[in-house]
Amino acid sequence: MLKADLHLHCSADPKDNISYSDKELIDHLAKLGFNVASITCHDLQHYNEEIASYAKKKGILLIPGMEKTIKGKHVLFYNFKKEELDKIKDFADIPKYKRDDNLVACPHPFLPHKASMMWKFVKLQSVFDAVEYCHFYTRTTNHNLITRIFAKNKPFIGNSDAHFLEQIGTTYSTINSKPEITKILDAVKRGDVTANSRPLGHFEILKRTFKIMKLSAKSKK
């Protein structure tokens, strides 16, 4: 079983003013025992041989990823070519570029945020191969329960959507696969993945909310 987090941001992100670098992110993931990761910057596929090689030396397989904004909503793309991502302008474009060796996931569908799909997810869920189990919830307030009602048996992947290193670890995935990109994505598609998660305590969620609000105020233009 591979421990994975497939929704991570770093200082290369063109939208958010994140303090840690890609290598610092990899170092932190390695300390927590992760085997697979994807850096999913906003509207940027931050993946190259240097960072992939660095991750490999730390025991982590890096999957090319991006959190792309489409019509104001966030969508996670894995193992797509840059030229394909550039051509995707609308949700109707996504099926044209889906292949057996890539994957499309819906992040935080019902998290109260302007970039969440919300009820659009119900109408457009056929374009997604998997759905994110979002880390940002408590025992008493869990928007993931709404997602489960409408996801129609789609696989769930646990992600941190990390903008701060301390976000990593409370929600993650375990994937039953050999450590190869195409086999990992195939395992997710067929549902051979488990979203592992614990609710945040009230102090934790207040602290994260404050830090996210502070980060938003400093976001890159």
Q: How confident is the model at residue 11 (pLDDT cuts 50, 70, 90)?
A: very high
Q: Which regions of the chain does DSSP assign to beta strands (E)? A: 2-8, 36-39, 61-62, 65-70, 73-78, 103-106, 130-133, 156-158, 171-175, 193-197
Yes or no: say if 12 and 42 are a contact pair by the CB < 8 Å rule. no
Question: What integer pLDDT is reported at residue 221 of this predicted model?
Answer: 57
Calculate mean pLDDT across residues 11-20. Answer: 95
Residue 2: partners with Cβ closer than 8 Å, 6 or more residues away: 35, 36, 61, 174, 175, 176, 177, 179, 184
Q: What is the CATH number of the domain that holds 90?
A: 3.20.20.140
For 1-34, letters b (16+ CB in 10 Å) and e give ebbbbbbbbbbebebbebebebeebbbbbbeeeb
Listed residue (132, 165, 117, 120) closest to 20, CA to CA: 165
Share of the chain above pLDDT 90, in %: 93
Number of domains in the chain: 1
Note the pLDDT tens digit of each residue in 178-204: 999 999 999 999 999 999 999 999 999
Domain housing 134: 2-217
Note the pLDDT tens digit of each residue in 98-151: 999 999 999 999 999 999 999 999 999 999 999 999 999 999 999 999 999 999
Share of the chain above pLDDT 70, in %: 99
